[in-house]
Amino acid sequence: MKAQVTCIIDSRTMRGVSWNLGEGGMQVEASGLHPKEAVQLSFRLPSSGLAVDAVGTVVWGDEKRHGIQFTYMGAQSQQSILEYITEQMEH
């Protein structure tokens, strides 16, 4: 899943691109993220355009890509991600 992602850490705001999305987290290509940092994420699902807001923790990373594990997400965002994943598996 490629989508523009806004990452906010404290007072820093970065833009990145998502590479993978699952129920528990996502992979993001963005500079300036570091392991164990808490990050606020905002992005839109490609097919529906639905906005998703989540909070997560950077659990791994290299120079370009980082894995972020979701730690909080509203019920509507969770449902939207589940529907998106189900839709992608059917194609």
Q: Which of 9, 90, 1, 6 is closest to 57 using CA atoms?
A: 9
| Burial grade of 83 (CB within 10 A; 0-12, 13-18, 19 or more) | middle
Q: What's the pLDDT score for residue 90?
A: 85
CA dist., res. 1 & res. 81, Å (int): 11
Is residue 41 a contact partner of residue 5, using CB atoms and an 8 Å limit?
yes
Instruction: Give pLDDT tens digits for 64-85.
Output: 999 999 999 999 999 999 999 9
Domain 4-86 has CATH 3.30.390.50: no
Q: Is the pLDDT of residue 43 over 80?
A: yes
Predicted confidence (pLDDT) per residue in 12-35, tens digit: 999 999 999 999 999 999 988 999
